[in-house]
Amino acid sequence: MNLVTFEDLIEGTVYEGSEVVAEREAMVGYAKQYDPWPFHVDPEAARSSPFGGLIASAGYTFSLWCRSLHGVFRSDGREWAFLGGYELRIKLLQPVRPDDRMRVRVTIVSTRPSSRPGRGHVDSVHELVRHDGVPVFRVDLGFLMATRSTP
């Protein structure tokens, strides 16, 4: 297993996650349990809404982002030495609809060593991009990564 550490992250680098699909049944099932607005759960009511059809709830979309992100952090024989996120700013850019195919695009904005040994801070922008190239969801994420060695 190749471990990606803080020192490996270069400002401006872009990583792409695995493809995820907004599956109608999963999308509606999630909304019925956690966010039962009519435009999330009822196709007929959704058609007469400003959205003109079913759309995913923010929570379901967040889950798709998490799933795609694992394609960056844990794939192809590599794993990031991710220690956790500490600041998230979320923007819902466009509605996510049934059968939308998306993948996350992660851009490393800045890095700085931590005052605590063994870790560094990373500021990043994550866009969940639909198959037609349109970003639908954005997360500005500050997170911690382990360093190669502790001084």
On whether the pTM is more than 0.75, the answer is yes
Q: Give the DSSP letter string of 61-76.
A: HHHHHHHHHHHHHEET
Token representation of residue 149: 């060695």
Model confidence over 104-138: pLDDT tens digits?
Answer: 999 999 999 999 999 999 999 999 999 999 999 99
pLDDT at 76: 83
User: How far are the Cα atoms of 86, 123, 149 from residue 75, in angstroms, in the given order?
Assistant: 23, 21, 23
CA 113 to chain centre: 24
- pLDDT, one tens digit per residue, over 35-70 is 999 999 999 999 999 999 999 999 999 999 999 999
Domains and CATH numbers, the chain: 2-146 (3.10.129.10)
